[in-house]
């Protein structure tokens, strides 16, 4: 294990979050089992006080979980120079077999945690806790993934040794290697960009229809999953080569370095933030008819749509700027 402050912080925070989620899951199970807002019993009053505490704790835990994806990428980038052969975070994640699975779990938990925060926000807007059982049942789904993240993270960070020789991003994202990353890199850049702009345009049309007619929330939620996948493929196969101005350099992690002005951070934050808000907007469709939060849902939907659409525009502008300003010319 490497005794780097950022590594130790990642480990300790992950253990703490897992412990808090398990504690809250225990009480969430008890609350959902005995919850009866129609009674004024001593048990019900106790549960109402407890659910306020549990919800507050989980709110902070999941906010940190959302941010931890970018902290993890920052840590992987920060320590890459400790390993022979690593040129960026891609090499750090490849030091052992747990690096990339940990990243995928973190990304998955990013969206689960974000959606839980949205559900919790609306639940606390209602005087009768209308979504209490929904959010606590979702917590039961999230808890195993939080445990998995902690276990895989522990195996990954404790397995980091500076004497390990790892592969650089040029090897991992090479067109000649028989890997998933190689398949993504081999997608023609122009075809990837066409697919990206087409999907973004469809999403933009849905947002405009929502602003005009207050419809298409389900379609907005659904379009964001393929938009996320296509955007990641576009970053690897097209955006990267225009940014580095090298037709063979497909690394999505070198974007986090200073020589490209850390452009990867606003790129990924705008993409993930837009997708999360878009999915959340689709999720709110199922809450709009609940009387105690109907007004809050209607008002918040507009704000969420503005944030999601704004971040999508920002992501498109960043991609377009990278492509247009590049001196790379593809035949």
pLDDT at 164: 77
What mean pLDDT do residues 302-323 have?
96
Residue 134 sits in the same domain as residue 226: no
Last residue of a domain, one of 167, 197, 231: 167
Residue 201 sits in the same domain as residue 323: yes
Residue 6 has pLDDT above 90, yes or no: no
Residue 142 sits in the same domain as residue 184: no
The region of weakest confidence among 3-7, 140-144, 247-251 is: 3-7
**Which pLDDT band, with edges at 50, 70 and 90, does 1 fall under?**
low
pLDDT at 277: 97
What mean pLDDT do residues 289-302 have?
92
Residue 1 sits in the same domain as residue 93: yes
pLDDT at 82: 84
Q: Could you give the maximum distance between any two Cα atoms of the chain, in Å?
A: 75
Residue 26 sits in the same domain as residue 115: yes
Q: What is the mean pLDDT of the chain?
A: 91
Rounded to 10 degrees, the C-alpha dihedral 23/24/27/32 comes to: -150
Residue 153 sits in the same domain as residue 213: no
pLDDT 10s digits, 92-151:
998 889 999 999 999 999 999 999 999 999 999 988 889 999 999 999 999 999 999 999
Q: pTM, whole model, 2 decimals? A: 0.93
Residue 194 has pLDDT above 70, yes or no: yes
Tally of CA atoms within 13 A in the half-sphere of 29 that contains its CB: 8
Report yes or no: 283 and 118 within 8 Å, Cβ to Cβ: yes
Q: How many domains does the chain have?
A: 2
Range of the domain at 306: 174-331
Residues 6+ apart with CB under 8 A from 224: 203, 274, 275, 278, 279, 282
**Which pLDDT band, with edges at 50, 70 and 90, does 178 fall under?**
low
Residue 183 sits in the same domain as residue 318: yes
**Which pLDDT band, with edges at 50, 70 and 90, does 331 fall under?**
low
Residue 37 sits in the same domain as residue 154: yes
């Amino acid at each position: 294990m490497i005794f780097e402050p950022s590594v130790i912080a990642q480990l300790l925070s992950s253990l703490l979050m897992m412990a808090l989620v398990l504690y809250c899951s225990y009480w969430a199970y008890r609350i959902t089992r005995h919850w009866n807002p129609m009674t004024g019993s001593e048990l019900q009053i106790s549960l109402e006080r407890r659910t306020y505490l549990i919800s507050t704790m989980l709110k902070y835990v999941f906010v940190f979980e959302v941010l931890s994806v970018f902290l993890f990428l920052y840590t992987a980038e920060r320590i890459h120079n400790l390993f022979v052969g690593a040129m960026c975070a891609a090499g750090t994640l490849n030091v052992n077999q747990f690096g990339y699975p940990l990243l995928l779990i973190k990304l998955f938990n990013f969206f689960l945690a974000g959606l839980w925060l949205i559900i919790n926000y609306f639940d606390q807007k209602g005087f009768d806790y209308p979504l209490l059982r929904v959010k606590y049942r979702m917590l039961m789904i999230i808890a195993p993934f939080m445990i998995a993240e902690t276990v895989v993270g522990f195996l990954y960070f404790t397995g980091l040794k500076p004497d390990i020789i790892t592969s650089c991003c040029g090897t991992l994202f090479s067109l000649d290697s028989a890997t998933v990353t190689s398949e993504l890199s081999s997608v023609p850049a122009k075809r990837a960009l066409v697919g990206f702009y087409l999907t973004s345009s469809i999403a933009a049309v849905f947002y405009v229809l929502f602003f005009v007619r207050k419809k298409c929330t389900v379609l907005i939620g659904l379009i964001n999953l393929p938009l996320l996948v296509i955007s990641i493929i576009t970053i690897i196969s097209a955006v990267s080569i225009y940014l580095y101005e090298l037709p063979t350099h497909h690394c999505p992690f070198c974007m986090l370095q200073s020589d490209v002005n850390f452009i990867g951070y606003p790129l990924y934050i705008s993409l993930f933030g837009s997708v999360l808000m878009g999915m959340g907007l689709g999720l709110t469709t199922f809450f709009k008819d609940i009387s105690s939060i109907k007004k809050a849902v209607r008002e918040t939907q507009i704000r969420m749509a503005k944030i999601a659409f704004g971040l999508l525009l920002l992501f498109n502008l960043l991609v377009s700027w990278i492509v247009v300003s590049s001196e790379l010319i593809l035949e």
